[in-house]
Structures are given as structure tokens and as C-alpha cells.
């Protein structure tokens, strides 16, 4: 099993860790793995490194970083025989937590080595052509991501402070949401479309969502005051977010969101300027993923060929 670890030294907790690259190489040597460590040098580099790894015959490509690193690596592995594995080092680690991937270094590395893991197929999404694997969004979601990405100190407290500042500055946005079955106009604070159940830090934006059901979960939050926003934030961690009267939840394979003007969206926390119309699609069984053997978040499968499988690189 040929493996490539793609290490982002500026991602999340990696900024405060010294010697992590050495720890990775020591693990490789101790397990006699056929593996290499590649270090990213800037935005987008992880995608190129992952593409090169897949082309060179790696069966597993490991993202050692946060959600942004995960997104960059995963983009290159869509519809390829290579499997994505995670060593979560970010501030939120939403996809990893949803799948039950350990956030401690050694257990995560053991999973990468398939000591306690298996390869499963998961769905992925795209928003106006931008791939996402956990959650995308617009409105408050995108503004929080924009602000958060400028911080030098990360973590849940910093995220909460950033969200509060963004909430105070935010104006509501009227959007038209279309599915194959319905069209609905809503005044919203945010629209999030989730592949997994959470943003990260166990903040569950779409309780009960599955990553292998061929559908995405749209969550639209109607305008609330500060007290209502605090109550909603508490619901994120209690698994009752979608039970609020201020929340509209839809499920389906595709959505079209129309707003008054072009603006910002985020995909797994990375922001993009895009058009007034945002088209979001699910891509069923499009990514191989290393998950814990006991994970109930994704079904076991005897057929690990993704739908429409072909070895093609973006």
C-alpha cells in the first residue's frame, strides 16, 4: 500500500506543533510503510501534491491539516482509485468528527495504516463548480469563514467571537431556493448545505445527515435577534438545531439558490466570490475514504467502485 502524507505546516494546530513532520516520518519508519511526506508551500499546493500522488500510484493520500487542507487534497482524489485519509489538525475537523476519525495523532495514524480502519465510499458536493466534502454556505456562514480565515489564533472560542461580530454586522438576505419539487422564497441569515451532520467541534447544523445517502441537507436560518441567535447556537450542540421554528430544512440531490447580487460563498471554510445564482449538486459515491472499522456514519460496501468510476484527475 503506497501512501503519501500531505502536511500543511500552517494549518490549525500545526502552527503550534514542532517536529510533526519528523513524527510522521518516524511513524512511517516504525511501521515499515511504503510512504512519503510532502509539505505544502501555499494555497492550492495540496491539490497538486495529491494529484501527483494519485498519478504515481498511491492507494492512500493523507491530509495532515484542517478542513481547508482536506478540501484541497480531496479535490484531486475525486473519481480515482486513491483513498483519502485524515490526520485532523484543524480548528473544526467537521468531516473527521462526523466519520469518527480520531483527532489524537497516534490513533489517527493507526487508522491511516488501516490497523483499525476500512475504505468506504462517500458522497461529495459542488457549489458553482467548487467541490466541498463537509459543508458549504452563504450569508452569515460565508462571512464568518472570511473573518475566521484572517485570524492567527484559531479554536472554538475564537470562532464564537468571530461569529458574534459577523452576526452584529450582517444584513438579512432574501433568497429563492429551488429543488426539483418546490420553490420557496425566504429571508435568511444564512443558508448552509451539509454533506455531513456538522460544521466541526460537534456543532451539528444538520442532525442525522448521512454522507452516503445520495442527498444533501439544506438548512436555511430565518432572521432572529441576539437572544434568538444564542439559543440557536446552543441548539447546534444539543442535536436539536433543525427543530427551531427559525430553521427551514430541505433534503435533496440538488438545489438552486438565487439571491439579489453576486457575493461570497464558502466551501469547507474556504471562501469564493461567485454569482447571484448558486447551483449545488451531490455527487454520489465519488470519493474513497478511510474510516474507522466501527464507524456507523458510512455503510460498508463490497463494491468500492464509485458510480461512473473512471481514473480521471481534475
How would you class 185 by CB atoms within 10 Å of its CB: exposed for 0-12, middle for 13-18, buried for 19 or more? exposed
CA distances from 75 to 153, 191, 223, 235, 270 (A): 27, 23, 34, 32, 13
Residue 259 CB partners (closer than 8 Å, separation 6+): 138, 173, 174, 175, 176, 276, 277, 278
The neighbouring-strand residues paired with 188 are: 173
Q: What is the mean pLDDT of each run of 10 residues along the chain (314 residues)?
A: 92 66 94 95 95 97 95 97 95 93 94 89 98 95 77 65 71 92 94 96 94 97 88 91 95 97 94 96 97 91 50 37
Q: Using CA atoms, how far apart are residues 194 and 158, in angstroms rounded to an integer?
A: 22
Domains (range + CATH), the chain: 2-124+283-292 (3.40.50.10330), 130-282 (2.60.200.40)
- Give the predicted TM-score (pTM) of the model: 0.89
Q: Tell me, what's the pLDDT at 16?
A: 58
Residue 273 CB partners (closer than 8 Å, separation 6+): 262, 263, 264
Q: Tell me, what's the pLDDT at 313?
A: 37
Q: Is the dihedral of CA 97, 112, 83, 291 positive or negative?
A: negative
Q: Using CA atoms, how far apart are residues 83 and 58, in angstroms rounded to an integer?
A: 9
Amino acid at each position: 500500500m503506497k501512501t503519501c502524507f500531505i502536511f500543511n505546516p500552517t494549518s490549525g494546530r500545526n502552527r503550534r506543533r514542532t517536529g510533526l513532520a519528523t513524527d510522521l516520518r518516524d511513524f512511517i519508519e516504525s511501521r515499515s510503510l511504503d510512504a512519503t511526506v510532502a509539505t505544502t508551500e501555499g494555497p492550492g499546493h495540496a491539490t497538486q501534491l495529491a494529484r501527483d500522488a494519485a498519478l504515481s500510484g498511491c492507494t492512500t493520500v493523507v491530509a495532515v491539516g484542517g478542513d481547508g487542507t482536506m478540501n484541497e487534497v480531496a479535490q484531486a482524489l475525486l473519481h480515482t482509485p486513491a483513498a483519502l485519509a485524515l490526520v485532523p489538525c484543524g480548528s473544526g475537523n467537521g468531516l473527521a468528527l462526523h466519520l469518527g476519525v480520531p483527532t489524537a495523532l497516534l490513533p489517527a495514524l493507526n487508522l491511516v495504516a488501516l490497523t483499525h480502519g476500512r475504505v468506504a465510499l462517500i458522497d461529495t458536493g459542488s457549489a458553482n463548480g467548487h467541490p466541498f466534502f463537509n459543508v458549504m454556505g452563504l450569508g452569515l456562514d460565508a462571512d464568518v469563514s472570511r473573518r475566521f480565515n484572517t485570524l492567527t489564533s484559531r479554536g472554538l472560542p475564537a470562532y464564537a467571537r468571530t461569529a458574534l461580530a459577523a452576526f452584529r454586522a450582517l444584513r438579512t438576505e432574501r433568497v429563492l431556493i429551488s429543488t426539483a419539487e418546490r420553490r420557496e422564497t425566504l429571508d435568511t441569515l444564512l443558508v448552509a448545505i451539509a454533506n455531513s451532520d456538522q460544521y466541526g467541534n460537534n456543532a451539528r447544523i444538520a442532525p442525522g445527515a448521512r454522507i452516503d445517502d445520495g442527498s444533501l441537507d439544506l438548512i436555511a436560518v430565518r432572521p432572529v435577534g441576539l437572544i434568538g441567535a444564542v439559543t440557536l447556537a446552543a441548539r447546534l450542540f444539543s442535536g436539536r438545531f433543525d427543530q427551531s421554528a427559525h430553521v427551514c430544512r430541505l433534503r435533496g440531490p440538488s438545489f438552486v439558490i438565487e439571491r439579489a447580487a453576486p457575493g461570497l460563498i464558502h466551501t469547507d471554510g474556504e471562501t469564493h466570490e461567485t454569482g447571484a445564482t448558486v447551483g449545488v449538486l451531490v455527487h454520489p459515491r465519488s470519493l474513497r475514504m478511510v474510516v474507522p472499522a466501527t464507524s456507523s456514519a458510512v455503510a460498508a460496501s463490497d463494491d468500492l467502485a464509485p458510480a461512473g468510476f473512471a481514473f480521471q484527475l481534475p
